[in-house]
Chains A and B, each alone.
Chain A
């Protein structure tokens, strides 16, 4: 079993993410490329003490970067859409 914070790298706080949180009770995380849905589900459930109903993931390809003639690529990353059970909430801005 991986450490929890090895699975959940950071929450993604974006315009789309806040919209999804309001409409569909989904939260977005940045996760390592190697993490699978089961790991993500259990990590979120343990970390935030919530019930997860669905995890969807997608891989992002790193952007190309060119230094002179050399073309390289930034590392890719994985994004996870975590749907929470009804009535559950994760508030990243607690106290605000």
Chain B
């Protein structure tokens, strides 16, 4: 019988010293040799007729290493089950000798385990919920923003010369030393402005249909490196002039852009939307504060393996969100390594929070049923649209389901903690929190 001793190194590390009896080792080695002799191709022997002594010489060390791996793997998993240890990450295996016939095999495995989290007080956590009141100014700001994005260019017909503020439709060519470096047809340019590097600044007072040319010298530190330090000769033809017309905010505006009958209704709808937004962000801020408080109040050691795997997850998430701005493949490993270091504190906090929430779930007896998981998957699949079926097949994997269950369990637990928390709604004092559509709130 395999002998297992467990040492507790610290709150997150256990050392298992495992001894496999000699007869098991011998049996395993014999088996390995006999199965190898059936397949080994050795010069001078027909297959299956190679004597053990020859095999020993040809492949003995390799075979013993394989037997060692197999014995360790089997006995390690058994030992974990027997001792009900749930490890995270990979074990560190140490041994003094290889597997030898007739000798017991002794090795030690150091594993990290999830710590026993003793959650202190999680009921009645006092946090502030920074709810920003929505005022008329916010609604106005939102509508003005919508108004600006609804602006159109109306042709000017009673004038044949451009004026500051007009929108000119132009064809242009840009040359450096008679070489064309840029060209465009029917571009819209706002006339006027003080910025000499903008085309518009040179187009004031140009007659409709006339061609004008001007020279722009870009400074050395210009942001576009193709143009920096160059003298560019522009040739521009103004084909049409127009003005930027914004629709007035009235009932018609409400009809056209909000699908509502009156402006009053639209204002109401906008206010509701902004209020809902403010509520959502206040709620999520409160939840975050609660998680922060939990982590702050419950200090414990976290297995490094969990932190690292979480940090890896964060980095991967970050990288996939980069999309086009992903670093080139040659630098990716380096960037990942650096990001990992930067994200480690955050990963540690998240792991801590997750462990705390799981511990609370146990205390509160919160469980996620299979039906709940099924309906969550259905929801995901529906919202994914075309790629939904692929998503469903992903969730067929037990590990994906397990992950989802854990995530739902944490959410549900956090809901419970939030219910029991002592949440005080306050008005935010922070400037950053107090603007929605570019207008300061009245809080």
Contact = CB atoms under 8 A, between A and B. Distances in A.
Interface stretch (A8-16, A31-39, A51-59): A8-16
A14 B56 contact: no
A17 B57 CA distance: 16
Interface residues of A, number: 8
A77 to B, nearest CB: 14
Contact of A15 (B45, B53, B56, B57): B45
A88 interface: no
Nearest to B60: A96
Contact of A13 (B44, B46, B60): B44
Contacts of B50: 15
A12 B45 CA distance: 11
A12 B44 CA distance: 8
Contacts of A14: 44-45
B45 A93 contact: no
A15 B60 contact: no
B26 to A, nearest CB: 16
B45 A96 contact: no
A18 interface: yes
A14 B56 CA distance: 15
A96 B53 contact: yes
A14 B49 CA distance: 10
Contacts of A13: 44, 54
Interface in A36-66: none
Contact of B49 (A12, A15, A93, A96): A15
A93 B44 contact: no
B51 interface: yes
Contacts of B54: 13, 18, 93
Contacts of B53: 18, 93, 96
Interface in B28-83: 44-46, 49-51, 53-54, 56-57, 60
Given A15-B49, A18-B51, A96 B57 contact: yes
Nearest to A12: B44
Nearest to B49: A15
Interface string B279-323: 000000000000000000000000000000000000000000000
A30 to B, nearest CB: 11
Contacts of A18: 51, 53-54
Nearest to B53: A93
B44 A17 contact: yes
B88 to A, nearest CB: 42
A60 to B, nearest CB: 14
Contacts of A15: 44-46, 49-50
Contacts of B45: 14-15
A14 B46 CA distance: 9
Nearest to B46: A15
Q: Which of B50, B51, B56, B60: most chain A CB closer than 10 A?
A: B51
A96 B46 CA distance: 21
Contact of B56 (A12, A17, A96): A96
Interface string A10-28: 0011110110000000000
When A and B form their complex, which 9 residue pairs have the shortest distance between CB atoms, in order from nearest? A14-B44, A96-B56, A93-B53, A15-B45, A18-B51, A93-B57, A15-B49, A96-B53, A96-B57
19 contacts: A12-B44, A13-B54, A14-B45, A15-B44, A15-B45, A15-B46, A15-B49, A15-B50, A17-B44, A18-B51, A18-B53, A18-B54, A93-B53, A93-B54, A93-B56, A96-B53, A96-B56, A96-B57, A96-B60
